Amino acid sequence: MEIIIASDKDQWNKFVIENSSPSSFLQSWQWGEFQAALGNKIHRVVVMGDDGKWLAAAQIVVRSLYLGKTYLEVAKGPVGNFDKAVWETLVAELKTIAAVENAVLVRISPPYQNKFQISNFKFQKPEILQKQMEPEDTVLVDLTKPEDQLMSKMHEKSRYNIRLAMKKGVRVEDKTGDSAGFEKFLELIAETSKRDGITVWPRKRFEKFREHFMYAELPPTPSLIKGGETPSLLQREGKGEFSPRAILLTGEYEGKTLAATIIMLFGDSGTYLYAASSAEMRNANVPSLVLWEAIRAAKAAGKKYYDMWGIAPPDASESHSWSGITRFKSRYVTVGLPASATPQALRAGETGLEKHYTGTWDLILDKNYYKLFKLGKKLINFVR
């Protein structure tokens, strides 16, 4: 067993796809290139067995901290088939890289549920940088089900909103390669951020994202709902069989773009990455139809799941900041009994799954800095 440095992007993406479901696009090769374009250093390491087979892989982003320190982030990773020896080999390599990069901690968030007991390897739940964590809970739409079943089994309110939007003449279009459509998305996401009090990427990061994942040389698809059939995106997914690709859908009503969403297509999944909407003409239900068409687009692309990308934890109260969006997302699937009745990590239903990952974990390498950072944040919050 040894550590190698990955150099083949297709081999890398294939391994990630085969060892994560929903497929972990944050571990895709192209996501690393996107992070590098933002100024972050990237490491890609593989644990290889004596027979030459890959056993585990980790794409590591080096994030900057104060006083010349950094931390290592393995978002929705590492991935692989872990046993004690594989895990120990990988953690030893992460520590080696951390020493070179002057890292305070190593942060991981494996895309699994209860695959192994991470705390046995001196990892602990984060006490700092808690806003820089990936969602631990999500709802998946089962795209292997027929469209009519997906529609009939969703919440009646969502079904009503979708049909009303169609009746009103709302149009949903693919604007992936359209500069004006992208500009409109940026306007809507800024409005949504201000209205709902959420943090979104700055403009330059969205522009870099578009360069890496939204291929402008591909022409926009005609209206997704005209004629009742979503055009296939299989041949439009990306530059290479295993490459991730993002598409931008917009919803228009009475000549105005009122909602937009970006979804990521990678491996077996489409992921609901960003959604934005206007406060105008809410009774047209444009966001509901845009989400439904995004689900249909992922299904047409041959995906197994549509990942809603983040819901409130199963034990969260109604006061949780994600309670509203959780209700909205959950109305598009039928899952099992309430989490209180079925506390296992996966709740399956007729058209969806509720999934609860093992979460985010920190391996603290500089305890004094970690404590100082934690204390500093408390003092800042106290002063505010």
Residues in the chain: 384
Q: Among the residues of 219-330, which ranges form H helices?
A: 286-300, 323-330
Q: What gap in Å lies between CA 8 and CA 167, rounded to an integer? A: 49
Q: Which residues contact 306 (CB under 8 A, 6 or more apart)?
A: 140, 141, 143, 263, 269, 270, 271, 272, 294, 295, 298, 299
CA–CA separation, 188 and 281 (whole Å): 14
Strands 41-48 and 2-5, by their bridges, are antiparallel
CA 339 – CA 348 distance, rounded (Å): 11
Both tokens assigned to 248 = 């931008």
For the stretch 2-28, pLDDT in tens is 999 999 999 999 999 999 999 999 999
φ, ψ dihedrals at 188, nearest 5°:
-70, -40
Q: If you search the block for the tokens 């985010």, which residue do you land on?
A: 360
Q: What pLDDT sits at residue 221?
A: 45
CATH code 3.40.630.30 region(s) in the chain: 2-135+358-383, 137-356
Q: What is the pTM of this model?
A: 0.88
| Residue whose token pair is 């590492």 | 78
Residue 52 CA from chain centroid, whole number? 31
Which residues have a Cβ under 8 Å from the Cβ of 21 and sit 6 or more positions away?
267, 268, 269, 304, 305
User: For residues 96 and 116, what is the distance between their CA atoms, to the nearest angstrom?
Assistant: 22
CATH superfamily membership of 2-135+358-383: Gcn5-related N-acetyltransferase (GNAT) (3.40.630.30)
Amino acid identity of 84?
Answer: K
pLDDT by 10-residue block (mean), the chain, 384 residues: 95 96 96 97 97 97 94 96 90 97 96 73 87 84 92 89 95 95 96 88 96 68 44 45 91 96 96 94 94 95 92 75 74 59 49 86 94 78 56
In angstroms, rounded to a whole number, what is the distance separating the alpha carbons of residues 175 and 187?
14
CATH superfamily, domain 137-356, is: Gcn5-related N-acetyltransferase (GNAT) (3.40.630.30)
